[in-house]
Amino acid sequence: MKSESDKKDIYSFSDTISKYDYDFENHIYIVTFGYELSNISYSRMSRPIVHEHGHYNYFIPKVWLSDGNADKLYVYELPKVNIDSDADDYTRKVFFVDK
């Protein structure tokens, strides 16, 4: 989540998401459903250059997830960086690991 509108998109999954005091000026938030975030990395080489719908200016991170509680929504607060999922295949850089 990078903005209030992103937050509203996931209200239907959990009403508790709205109760936290989000700081979108200085942070972004990674949201996972039923998985815990084990690691996240990105580099300049992970930045998409051109997409059929126009130019994107964000990094696509590699994400490592481990099994969590299937009934939980996890929210991770990170310093502000322009990352987003891969528009062509959001699972392309997602890896599952053991705890």
Flag whether 8 is in a domain: no
> Which residue, 22, 63, 56, 17, is CA-closest to 41?
63
In a domain, 11, yes or no: no
Placement of tokens 């991770």 in the chain: 76
Task: Name the residue with tokens 């696509």.
Answer: 60
5, part of any domain: no
In this prediction the pTM is 0.76
pLDDT of 93 = 83
Domain that holds residue 69: 21-37+47-84+92-98
Residue 98 has pLDDT above 80, yes or no: yes
Cα angle 9-80-42, degrees, rounded to a multiple of 5: 95
Can you give the pLDDT at residue 67?
87
DSSP state, residue 7 = H
pLDDT at 50: 60
Q: Structurally, how many domains does the chain consist of?
A: 1
Which spans in 41-90 are helix H? none
State the pLDDT at residue 52: 63
CA 36 to chain centre: 12
- Domain membership flag for residue 9: no
Confidence of residue 37 (pLDDT cuts 50, 70, 90): very high
